[in-house]
Amino acid sequence: MITVEYRQAMVMDLDGAKGVPEWAEDLWELSDRANVTNWFIATANVGIITSEADEWHRIEVTLELWDGEPPADDVLWARGETVELYSSSGKLHMVGPFGNSSGKLIDLREQARNWLVRANVRPGPGARYSDEQPPEGLETYRLQFWPALP
């Protein structure tokens, strides 16, 4: 689980800003663009999810590695978006806007390459609230990674 704050959560390379190619869009520029364009966008070492649910809540995210493009199963998901993401270390984790990590990590098994990422979202099982904690169960996400062609 990762906490969405200000409607955003990120998948981020363990290298962070180091190892980013010169052509890469700056994280702050990407974050500004995330508020006005598609709900999942990416550049080198980071992808930003913009939630349509509550500004502050916890989401479940599944990270999957595929050898090629996974089969489409759009019936199970409300929305889908496919983007290209460069990863310098080949290891990515889910983080909130203030750097809090979910501890969920995906090892892409290759460094310094481009990946295609299909992000899917659907409503969660239903809101659950606890004292002074963000609600859970509003949304469920899945991120599928496979190698982009060179």
What domains are defined for the chain? 2-147 (2.60.34.30)
Task: Compute the 3-state secondary structure of the chain and give helix, strand, coil in percent, each to the nearest 5.
Answer: 5, 50, 45
The pLDDT value recorded for residue 36 is: 60
Rounded Cα distance between 55 and 3, Å, is 10
Q: Are strands 57-65 and 136-147 parallel, antiparallel or unpaired?
A: parallel
Q: What is the CA radius of gyration of the chain?
A: 15
- Asked if 13 and 92 count as a contact pair (C-beta separation under 8 A), the reply is yes
Reported as a single tens digit per residue, the pLDDT across 21-73 is 777 777 667 766 666 668 899 989 999 999 988 788 889 999 999 999 999 88
Model pTM above 0.85: yes
Query: Could you read off the pLDDT of 80-128 as tens digits, one per residue?
Result: 999 999 999 999 999 988 878 888 899 999 999 999 999 999 998 888 8
**Which region holds residue 89: left if phi is over 0, alpha if psi is between -120 and 50, else beta?**
alpha
Token output for 124: 């969660």
Question: What CA dihedral angle connects 126, 36, 28 and 99, to 10 degrees?
Answer: 0
